[in-house]
Structure 1
Amino acid sequence: MDGMQAEATTPLLTIDGARATIRLNRPAVHNRIEPPDLLKLLEHFETIEADPAIRVVILTGTGKSFSSGYHLGDMANRPDAEVTAADGGPSFESVGTALENLKVPVICRLNGGVYGGSTDFALCCDFRIGTEQAEMFMPAARIGLHYYPAGMKRYVSRLGLNAAKKLFLTAEKIFASEMLAIGYLTEVVSADQLDARVDALATRIASLAPLAVQGVKRSLNEIARQDFDEAGAIERARASQKSEDLREGLTAFREKRAPVFKGR
């Protein structure tokens, strides 16, 4: 899986039934995120949002690294590149927020190291499965950068204040065991088990009632950001109680069979 599409391109999107896979594809520069990649990622997100058959997304990279973060050359030319859109393209921060807000769950397949801004892209995902060789660091202080607000909020809400301070204020590299301990990684597996574990999790998520999964994902993210729309959550709960999927789930439970959900 990691050796596909060695030639550098903007991120690739493949769709297989209920599963969409987005692959960062600049392996020679450790899948560095460049301005054209941000625009392409938004295009892929729009495709995913418009397809009701998609129930889970996998985000990964080609080669030995997940991603080395945002292109430092663009930051040198445009010091506000992470938080300010370029002509004809979005900001890094806005693309991360769009990734976090995708309606379907996203699994980050961490095929290797993750660095800089891409550590936040991984935090935008709902699950992060990495190998025993995984490593990460946040170099913002080392290069003189005050990080953008949405990324800091995700660090604190996902990892806690102490872990966020260590990563931001020391710029030290940490490895798989510590990434798991602070909650950065959801799971750690051996390299030869990475694809099987990601596939199993994606299959499991895709088998569940999509309206319920998507609604609960939205509510949990709102709670994490401390902007919980309780009235909206109540409306989503009421809609789920009236759905065909709930009737199917209850019937399947009584009949001791696997439910077949249709997202309505």
Structure 2
Amino acid sequence: MSNSIELKIDNKVATITLNRPEVFNSFNREMALSLQRILDDCEANDDVRAIVLTGNGKAFCAGQDLKEVTNPELNPGFKKILEEHYNPIITRLRAIHKPIIGAINGVAAGAGANIALACDIVVAHEKVSFIQAFSLIGLVPDSAGTFFLPRIIGFQKAQALAMLGDKISAEEAEKMGMIYKLIPLDNFEEDVNKLAIKLANMPTKALGLIKELFNKSMTNTLEDQLALESKLQIEAASSNDYAEGVAAFIEKRKPNFKGN
């Protein structure tokens, strides 16, 4: 296991913690590749039914470690950074058929902000801030920021944030719909854990299909989306979770979902 990533599995929840607090959990090559491997492991592990992505220390993630890209001996180059680091992380976050909570514990800047947006459910506490920091050093947003942000908060607002590099508080992010919910700092870890356990005990087969539907809705026509809804509803209706959910409803008991 990489020292730059911590993994804990408990109550069917995998908590993945970015662990380079001395550099605000900014990504170097080793951490980016380690995160990809751990996400793959969580996807393949039947004991994992929900995932939490968070950070150690004062930051969630400050994006790219600039010391790496300014060191001639370490710099992998932007082509490799995007094609081998960030793009595969984003595609994994969206492709995994398990719910992923982005538990944003501190500043999320640059690629860190956009990795947060790629999670299924994003929560933050009142001391968190989000910033599209790219323009402030002469770069453009990457890690799907220009894909997700305008779809989440609208074209005009998203483009302004990308150009100006404004720092957005968690309260502002909640109001504009950038995140699902603001959780008080005093209850943050406890409430995140409760939310993750709730998801892990839900019919995760259906949750994965919901995720697939929302992914495809980004580019599908109405007709294509209706057809996909029909296809995946038939798949969901053939699952053991659906049978259990209906039986529990009729029998007036708590369902015991297995995720299949």
CA contact (8 A) 2:86 2:143 kept: no
| SS of equivalent to 2:236 | helix
Instruction: Report what 2:207 is aligned to.
Output: 213
CA contact (8 A) 2:132 2:161 kept: yes
C-alpha separation between the residues in 2 aligned to 1:150 and 1:234?
28
User: Residue by residue, what CA displacement relative to the aligned partner does 1:196-255 show, whole Å, maximum 9, x if unpaired?
Assistant: 221221122122111111101111122134486655543322122122221111110111
| SS of equivalent to 2:115 | helix
How much has 1:183 moved relative to structure 2?
1.5
Instruction: Report what 1:245 is aligned to.
Output: 241
How much has 1:257 moved relative to structure 2?
1.1
Instruction: Report what 2:17 is aligned to.
Output: 23
CA contact (8 A) 1:61 1:67 kept: yes
C-alpha separation between the residues in 2 aligned to 1:25 and 1:136?
19
C-alpha separation between the residues in 1 aligned to 2:4 and 2:240?
39
How much has 1:64 moved relative to structure 2?
1.3
Matches within 5 A, 1:130-149: 130-148=124-142
Query: After TM superposition, what 4+ stretches of structure 1 lie above 2 angstroms from structure 2?
Result: 73-77, 79-84, 146-151, 224-236
TM-score, scaled to structure 1: 0.88
How much has 1:150 moved relative to structure 2?
2.8
How much has 1:81 moved relative to structure 2?
4.5
TM-score, scaled to structure 2: 0.89
RMSD: 2.0
CA contact (8 A) 1:248 1:259 kept: yes
- Segments of structure 2 that go 5 or more residues without pairing to the other structure are none
Q: 1:203 to 1:153 in 2, by over 3 A?
A: same
Structure 2 counterpart of 1:101, from 78, 95, 100:
95
Q: 1:174 to 1:263 in 2, by over 3 A?
A: closer
Instruction: Report what 1:83 is aligned to.
Output: 82
Count of equivalent residues: 252
Instruction: Report what 2:176 is aligned to.
Output: 182
Q: 1:135 to 1:91 in 2, by over 3 A?
A: same
